[in-house]
Amino acid sequence: MVYIIFLDFDTCLKSVDKNLTRISDVTLIASDKSDLDMHVSVSHVHGGQFGAGYVDGYIRLFDIRTPEMLVGAAQPHNQRVVGVGFQPGLEPSKIFSASQAGDIQFLDIRNLKHTCLTIDAHQGSLTAFAVHRHASLIASGSAKQVIKAFNMEGHQLGNIKYYPTFMAPKIGAVSCLTFHPYQVLLAAGASDACVSIYADEISPSR
């Protein structure tokens, strides 16, 4: 059995045994053994609400404030979910998910079976996904050494590619992406053990 562990860091963690089966002030949500490769994203607006993506293409929305905890589920993907994230802003109504097949889905959290928008970002090679906490930006990366950025309307804002030319920046197969929580900075990790940081513009020299 696998557990999603939800901690409240405003309270004290009183006791934890070595098997993580008895935890004070912690919510445990049981999941199946096949879900070891799940991806989880917590809402920064609605406390206690988070989404999880699974290897079977399912997206599940949980709320620990409700007795059942599971508040919605849908299967918008045919392959493994690579990442999930909530829409930024004070009144987010969407959750985003990306799958290994290369598609990014915009889902309505009030009805997960309703797909608001689909982006065909990569062709069967999507390996990383990130949503900015405050800016209207999402990013996806692929094993084919490509990073793409989109806005919340699904329009591509730019891409970063590997060009095999002299003095060109090297980009490996992208393995992970994350945005700075407050600045428009994107960090990318690659399978060749390199980490790169990208900005929306070059700051003027001082």
Amino acid 33: pLDDT: 46
Amino acid 17: pLDDT: 40
Give exposure, 105-130, as e/b (b: 16+ Cβ within 10 Å). bbbbbeebeeeeeebebbeebbbbbb
Mean pLDDT in residue range 123-150:
93
On average, the pLDDT of the chain sits at 80
Q: What residue segments make up the domains of the chain, in order of their start?
A: 32-199
First to last CA, the chain: 56
Entry pTM: 0.79
Rounded Cα gap, residues 131 and 22, in angstroms: 33
Name the band, by pLDDT with cuts 50, 70 and 90, for residue 192. Answer: confident
Mean pLDDT in residue range 114-127:
90
CATH (residue range 32-199): 2.130.10.10
pLDDT higher than threshold 80 for residue 35: no
Phi, psi of 33 (to 5 degrees): -60, -30
Instruction: Name which of 37, 81, 44, 30 is nearest 59 in CA terms.
Output: 81
- Whether the CB-CB separation of 53 and 39 falls below 8 Å is answered with yes
